[in-house]
């Protein structure tokens, strides 16, 4: 079941800023138990940055502490046919 989506922030060409609790609030507002985070890399390369890696780990911990589950963090590139999935690359483990 899809509960909804929310735009949390609009960034510049090389960064975006938002507060992790905003993700929890959005999930709570939608009655969700699961979170999928998606953002783009305007550079055209979907490979995660160090900041993306750190964000995913921090968000997964915060979600778990709040009774939510981070299912995946997806990074898409402008062409639309390139993406990076933290779950597919075993960097975001969803519980069974």
DSSP string, 2-64: -----------SS-----HHHHHHHHHHTT-SEEEEEEE-TTS--PPPHHHHHHHHHHHHHHH
**pLDDT tens, 33-76?**
899 988 888 888 899 999 999 999 999 999 999 999 999 999 99
Residue extents of the structural domains in the chain:
32-85
The pLDDT score that the predictor gives to residue 80 is 61
**pLDDT tens, 73-88?**
999 988 767 899 999 9
Q: When comparing pLDDT for 64 and 30, which is higher? A: 64
Superfamily classification of domain 32-85: Cytidine Deaminase, domain 2 (3.40.140.10)
């Amino acid at each position: 079941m899809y509960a909804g989506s929310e735009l949390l922030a609009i960034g510049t060409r090389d960064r975006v800023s938002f507060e992790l609790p905003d993700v929890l609030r959005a999930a709570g507002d939608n009655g969700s138990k699961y979170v999928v985070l998606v953002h783009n890399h305007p550079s055209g390369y979907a490979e995660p940055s160090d900041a993306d890696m750190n964000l995913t780990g921090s968000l997964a911990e915060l979600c778990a502490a709040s009774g939510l589950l981070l299912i995946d963090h997806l990074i898409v590139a402008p062409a639309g046919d390139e993406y990076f999935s933290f779950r597919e690359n075993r960097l975001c483990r969803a519980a069974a």
